[in-house]
Chain A
């Protein structure tokens, strides 16, 4: 059997138009914006030493900020800006997806363009500049007819660098809601679908290479003063942009957008919701890989229409409550508080995905550990691993306070690797998720939280404020309420992590729907 007959290739191909198109659009826009800002700045700063130093210094500092962090920072920044424009001018804008991605990437592109433009302009022989003045050019004419044309090859080299950086970094714009080739990578990492990861990386690399080569052609044309090459390279870039615009023109815009966070269960559930909407005759698309904090804001702002969250997460993180209430009471209060923000809590799906401390069953039995209280005595000689957010979440603080937990080391890990790590003894305990199928697969046991330090985490279906009165959406989603029990979800999660052709979120979602048929 050929590798390419794997259904995952097919799945990857199906998304290519959408992902690649969005990727090119966001990259090209960011690059254009970056150039529009950097080029005039560089020209103004070229003969002003203080401004030059300042500008290059700031651009260098921006460059040291990791791409993911830079992108993530723009989301709250724009949210704040949007709320300002709402209160001042009466209109807002979406702080989600395209805009923050473009701004962050544009900022990222500035250093090489600034540096090369300034270097190129300053490298021109003084005799040539004097001749330009001497033959009667105004400063603007000298810039346009002599300085820029002569500096252009050096400037182009900077633009090439910027283009490659932007295209590479744009893969990180997926978590802030911008569809990109990063969707392959994030989805693949979460569902352990290495074909997708590879596909995404290769596509981004090929795109960067293609753009770089086209720009190189322009650069070579400029250097050797052959306008044919320059024109060919320019035509190539234009063709690329046009090609990515065509599918978006032809594409019907989806009415409903279903959000998903960055882990496999969320991918499956968003697929399930999208399939349900499709079955009800509604058009739907999914926005996957959204950060835990981004996704709720995106719902409130109407950038997504529906998604599944967990009661405890909203209770502690979004509503900032520190006290924990019994399950039913917490759900009721949550519903009331969300209603105040006009967010509809449609209901619980029927399972809980709570954080839980998990360790191998054999080891727990041998050490006589059954509850977290039992663990507390052993913790100082043990190591714990958790996902990227757990240690900064209030649950962790509560757990530590309630049980006096104090581990020897804390490690952050990609969630999919934690289970294998604890099973193999790499770490002693992990903060896993109760709905994870790997708990059963690796023979792990969930330690009992007898002091109820961890809040309940019922999976709940949320609808955006603008959909509050949308009965078609409500009716399509209603059958999901109370339908999925923990066993079904665990098995679905295990399948999603299966890494074979049946592991795609769509396939697992279909399986889950059939499995839970009443």
Chain B
């Protein structure tokens, strides 16, 4: 089961402004069950559009997207979104709802009973390492950026999805929080057997968290593979993307001798 395809994009295209802007241009990409895929690209590369196509927040112009072999166009978009967890950029929490209400929203929409939801919310707060009593009744504006994003992750997991889509989830956080949250999420991903697709513009983050990396530029998929596979790629842009983390790593190694700090 481990290597069966969970999400598949086949020759998918999407343009905006009456065809003038090709946001996604003939992209074919597969994500295996249990895999952590990072899609890397600069802004305007089409990576966010690709993600939104998967849960039909926008509809593809052509090509086919399947989840577990089922064409998403055949699925009810609302039901589809309830089955897929989504973590939004800087949280996307509902400012008028408490942490508990935010986390419990999808189960509530699915009509689960209140006691079950409350129990699930506490469980999820534990999972994302937020103190139940302290955070349950707070409102988003009373949380730090990192806490907000932890709640965002908890909300995405609330309906027990097998797939989680993440749109630059840690982009707006300070480096320490970002690192801690990334590691915590990676552990959750493994523990819950999730299939995760994460959008990021940060190659270092992608290398450190993901099993496989897809590189996008101007709507096209340039390359995909593990970090070492990408390193073999002859593409100049991919090499350039990889050169930054490598250079940083070398400099850090030089500046921070082992055993120190």
Contacts and interface: CB of A to CB of B under 8 A. Distances in A.
B81 to A, nearest CB: 4
Contacts of A138: 78
A21 to B, nearest CB: 37
A127 B152 CA distance: 13
A136 B95 contact: no
A477 to B, nearest CB: 65
Contact of B81 (A134, A145, A150, A225): A134
B106 interface: yes
A133 B155 contact: no
B95 A150 contact: yes
A318 interface: no
Interface in A213-253: 225
B171 interface: no
Interface stretch (B20-28, B85-93, B198-206, B238-246): B85-93
A225 B96 contact: yes
B57 interface: yes
Interface string A123-163: 00001101111111110010001100110000000000000
A141 B78 CA distance: 11
B176 interface: no
B96 A133 contact: no
B120 interface: no
Contact of A128 (B57, B86, B92, B155): B92
Contacts of B96: 146, 149-150, 225
A137 B92 contact: no
B57 A135 contact: no
A382 B182 CA distance: 92
- The bracket for how many chain A residues form the interface is 10 to 19
Contacts of A131: 86, 88, 92-94
A135 B90 contact: no
B109 A141 contact: yes
A127 B89 contact: yes
Contacts of B89: 127
A149 B81 CA distance: 22
A128 B95 contact: yes
B79 interface: yes
A136 B109 CA distance: 7
A127 B88 contact: yes
B105 A135 contact: yes
Contact of A136 (B79, B90, B93, B94): B79
B80 to A, nearest CB: 8
A136 B81 contact: yes
A150 B159 CA distance: 24
A132 B92 CA distance: 9
A134 B57 contact: yes
Given A127-B88, A133-B57, A146 B94 contact: yes
Contacts of B88: 127, 130-131, 134
Given A141-B109, A225-B139, A134 B94 contact: no
Contacts, number: 54
B161 to A, nearest CB: 10
A479 to B, nearest CB: 70
A149 B102 CA distance: 14
Contacts of B93: 131
B55 to A, nearest CB: 7
Contacts of B86: 131, 134-135
A443 B255 CA distance: 110
Contacts of A128: 92, 94-95
Contacts of B110: 136
B136 interface: no
Nearest to B88: A131
Contacts of A134: 55, 57, 81, 86, 88, 92
Of B55, B90, B92, chain A has the most CB atoms within 10 Å of the CB of B92
B212 interface: no
Contacts of B81: 133-136
B82 interface: yes
A137 B81 CA distance: 8
Contacts of B159: 136
A201 to B, nearest CB: 40
Contacts of A135: 81-82, 86, 105-106, 109, 155
Contacts of A150: 94-96
Nearest to B98: A225
B152 to A, nearest CB: 9
Contacts of A132: 94
A141 B96 CA distance: 15
Nearest to B110: A136
B114 to A, nearest CB: 15
Contacts of A146: 94, 96
A130 B52 CA distance: 10
A261 B237 CA distance: 88
Interface in A77-133: 127-128, 130-133
A222 to B, nearest CB: 9
Interface string B99-122: 000000110011000000000000
Nearest to B80: A136
Interface string B32-74: 0000000000000000000000010100000000000000000
Contacts of B82: 135-136
A131 B94 CA distance: 8
Contact of A137 (B78, B139, B155): B78
A141 B110 CA distance: 12
Nearest to B96: A149
Nearest to A138: B78
B38 to A, nearest CB: 19
A138 B90 CA distance: 23
B92 A130 contact: yes
B63 to A, nearest CB: 22
A145 B81 CA distance: 17
Contacts of A130: 57, 88, 92
A279 B155 CA distance: 77
A131 B110 CA distance: 16
5 contacts: A128-B94, A131-B88, A135-B81, A135-B106, A136-B109
Which 5 A/B pairs are nearest by Cβ-Cβ distance? A131-B92, A136-B82, A136-B81, A134-B86, A149-B96
Given A135-B82, A150-B94, A150-B95, 13 more contacts: A128-B94, A131-B86, A131-B88, A131-B92, A131-B93, A135-B81, A135-B109, A136-B78, A136-B81, A136-B109, A146-B94, A146-B96, A149-B96
